[in-house]
Amino acid sequence: MGNFIAIGKMRRLSTEYPAHAHAQWELVLYTKGPGRAWSGAREIPFDDGTLVANPPGIPHREHSARGYSNIAMLVHDCRLDPRTALVARDPEHRPMLALMELLDREFHLKRGGWEATCEELLGVLLHYIAAIEKAPVGQNDVSRLENLLIDNIHNPEFSVEKALKGMGRSRFHFMRVFKISTGLSPMQYLLERRVRYASNLLKTTSLTVEEIGRQAGFEDPYYFSRLFRKRAGASPLAFRKKQAVGEARGKDEPE
């Protein structure tokens, strides 16, 4: 018998789901909220992106005055502590939502090999959940900001300061935690990723330096060139020329 049992996606908003229990684990990812869930005597606030894993045999229910929706699935084993519900937050780039939607699609389409596909997708989802569960205090917020910074590599209008204000923590405390975790301040982290991205474009495309700067989130081409030289040790054009010379020499060397 496979581990994966069933999955269902709510097609309309609901305000209430009465107490019920299963002989298996139920994983619920909320896609709209806010609302409150109860797992046994534990009250769990939820909104879009909250995942709750309810252990077998524990009664659970939901309520939302404004309405909520979710994707819920049943599995035999989650490799999690069965004594209490686990609550996790889908990271900023929403990998859990993507995996749950893929599971829902594959389960209902039942194409060839769908059982194996569902088992593999479930394994990846459980990996994300376990990684979040074991993360040190504050690490989830650090990962959340890392994902936000990476998502905005191309966006010249992105503001690190506004992102920090939206983290719901002391700005200076969070910057300290972020630097301890990554070795860089949030701004340094973003600039490093942008320069790394630009370096890859210089090596693999024929785009102009100005266009590469725009794709890497820099509106001012002169600022991009100065920053690139400072961080890469060469101007964008010199970097590209050096890479081309290195590749040409590699091709000329006898095998």
Complete domains list, the chain, with CATH: 4-134 (2.60.120.280), 141-249 (1.10.10.60)
Mean of all residue pLDDT scores within the chain: 87
CA angle 169, 140, 154 (to 5 degrees): 85
Query: What would the DSSP string read from start to end of 219-242?
Result: S-HHHHHHHHHHHHSS-HHHHHHH
- More confident call, 143 vs 60: 60
Rounded to whole angstroms, the Cα distance separating 154 from 113 reads 38
Strand locations in the chain (E): 4-9, 14-20, 25-32, 35-39, 42-46, 50-54, 60-75, 86-89
Q: Indicate if the pLDDT at residue 136 is higher than 60.
A: no
The whole-number average pLDDT for the span 47-51 is 92
Residue type, 164: L
Res. 75: pLDDT tops 70: yes
172-212 tens-digit pLDDT: 877 888 888 888 999 999 999 999 999 999 999 999 999 99
Q: Is 243 a residue whose pLDDT tops 50?
A: yes
Which residues, other chains included, contact 95 with Cβ-Cβ below 8 Å and sequence gap of 6+? 128
* pTM exceeds 0.85, yes or no: no
Q: 39: which strand partners?
A: 42, 60
What is the per-residue burial (b if ≥16 Cβ within 10 Å, else e) of 6-32? ebebbeeebeebeeeeeebbbbbbbbb
CB 129 within 8 A of CB 95: no
Residue 249 has pLDDT above 70, yes or no: no
* Residue carrying the six token digits 């990846």: 124
Q: How far apart are CA 29 and CA 43, in angstroms?
A: 16
Query: Sorting pLDDT into bands at 50, 70 and 90, what band is 11?
Result: confident
Higher pLDDT, 14 or 143: 14
Rounded to whole angstroms, the Cα distance separating 127 from 125 reads 5
Q: What is the pLDDT of residue 137?
A: 46
Token pair recorded at residue 132: 């979040």
List all residues 6 or more positions away from 17 whose beta carbon is below 8 Å from its beta carbon. 61, 62, 63
**Which of left, alpha, beta for 50 (phi over 0: left; psi -120 to 50: alpha)?**
beta
Query: Which pair of tokens denotes residue 232?
Result: 């890469």
| Helix runs in 135-170, H state only | 139-151, 160-165
Max avg pLDDT among 72-81, 127-136, 165-174, 200-209: 200-209
